[in-house]
Each structure stands twice: as structure tokens, then as C-alpha cells.
Amino acid sequence: MRKWLILLALFATGFSASADDAKAPRLTVIELFTSQGCSSCPPADAALRSLRGRPGILTLSWAVDYWDRLGWEDTFAHPHNSMRQAAYNKRLGRGGVFTPQMILDGRVQCVGSKPEKVRASIDKARAIERPVITPALAETADGKVELTLPAANVGDMVSVRVVWFLSDAEVQIGDGENQGRSLHYTNVVRTSDILMDWKGDATTVMLDPADGLKAGADHVAILLQDDYGHGPIVGAASMAIGQASTTAASAR
């Protein structure tokens, strides 16, 4: 417990917003693969929470199911989340999977509970030159969500993924390695799917927020991934749905 508190303090002091954050040229997507049954994960979950409010960053928490065998079934886990992590690791040349792992822009990976590794990985991901595609999300008069993709040179194809996520959740862990803890989770993915394979033409797609609300989400994100659903991320945007604020945070 003492080690966990020390790590939490390091994250709290190490990820405060800075002037450089406000000038971030694009949205950096940080995906955390975590589990309620993993005793090493709470510091990484806390790190994701501290990163969420920084300009130029979109955070997502993907709960994996392969630690459910330790005695506690993760209430947010889905096999597809574990498959996404495995696909990332295969493309990045890593064998197997682990938690807590952060994947940044689909290009850089690190241990999510190590502050110095996370900071270095953010810098590394932001330093990588890549095309910047800026999708836009907006609420329509009839309550739908309009996704606009500008004309862009995307090469062969870009996968357009929709992610419906819950901004905050508190979970009382009843068994397993974290038994007895009340843990806070942020930007928890509730459901996700590929909308389309995009060739770069100017395109408008209508989304129904009822799909997200039904899954327990209060936000939507769009991830543009080069070539296929687990490729490098070349653009992203997010916004609140339902009763929450509808201010969009689009790629910079």
C-alpha cells in the first residue's frame, strides 16, 4: 500500500499541465490496458485520471479479461479489449500481453505504472512525424452526433473506429488481488466498433448517441487508424453525449 501511495504522488506531481501542453499540435491518444484484478494497475489508473485533463490528450481505459481467473471478474472487461491489446503488441513486435500497459498513438508502448516511462513515452509519441487528420464531432438539432471527415491523402485506407466511453466510475472490488479496495476509473471504454474503411474523401457520418447511452457511456471518441483497426493513429476527436456538455475536443 505504501508503494502504491508513493507512485500515486509521483503521478500527481509529474503530470501537471504546462505551457507546452497548451501548444500541443495534435491530439495524443493514450490507451491504458488495465484490470480490476491486477494489483499493479491502480497507479496506472490514477495516472490516466491525471492525464485526462491535459490539453492535447485523449485518454481511454480498456479493461481486459485475462486476469478474471484471479478471483474477480472485471465489471468493464471484454474479450475484444484483450484482442485489441494483443494486436497492438504483435504489430509493435512484443510477445504476449501485460497490465498495466499504455499504448500512445498506436505507435509507442510503456508500463503504465512507471511515471518516468509514461512521461518519456508521451514525448516520444509527440515527436513522431505523421499526417494530421482532423475529424470533427458536433451535436445535431435532433440529438444525433455528426462526424465530419475532411478530404485527406490517407494512402490506401484508414479505419474509422467509434468508441463509446464512460467518464468516471467507482468500483468496489470484492475479491482477487485488489479485494476490499474502492477504485476509481476514468474514460472507461464501454463499447467500440469499426464504422468504416475510409479512402480519404470528404465524408459525413451520423452517429446515434443512444448506442453509447445504452452501453452505459457518456462520451464518444473517433479514432482514425492507418491501414486497419489497430494501426497507428493519425487523427482523433471526442465529445460528451446525452445530458453532459457537448463541447468537442478535436485533434489539434
Instruction: Give 26's pLDDT tier (boundaries 50, 70, 90).
Output: confident
Q: Is the pLDDT assigned to residue 227 strictly greater than 80?
A: yes
pLDDT digits (tens, 9 = 90+) for 168-198: 999 999 999 999 999 999 999 999 999 999 9
Percent of the chain with pLDDT over 70: 86
* CATH assignment at residue 106: 3.40.30.10
DSSP, residue by residue, 65-127 = STTGGGS---TT--HHHHHHHHHHHHHTT--S--SSEEEETTTEEEETT-HHHHHHHHHHHHH
Name which of 12, 92, 64, 27 is nearest 224 in CA terms.
27
Residue 53 has what pLDDT?
85
Name which of 88, 27, 94, 81 is nearest 54 in CA terms.
27
What's 244's DSSP letter? S
pLDDT digits (tens, 9 = 90+) for 107-149: 999 999 999 999 999 999 999 998 889 999 999 999 999 999 9
What's 5's DSSP letter? H
Domain with 163, as residue range(s), is 2-250
* Residue 56 near residue 134 (C-beta atoms within 8 A): no
pLDDT digits (tens, 9 = 90+) for 83-112: 999 999 999 999 899 999 999 999 999 999
The residues, ordered by sequence, that sit 6+ positions from 235 with a Cβ below 8 Å of its Cβ are 26, 27, 132, 133, 134, 135, 158, 222, 223, 224, 251
Residue 250 has what pLDDT?
30
pLDDT: is 144 or 22 the higher one?
144
How much is the pTM?
0.89
How many domains in the chain? Answer: 1
Burial category of 17 from C-beta neighbours within 10 Å (exposed 0-12, middle 13-18, buried 19 and up): middle
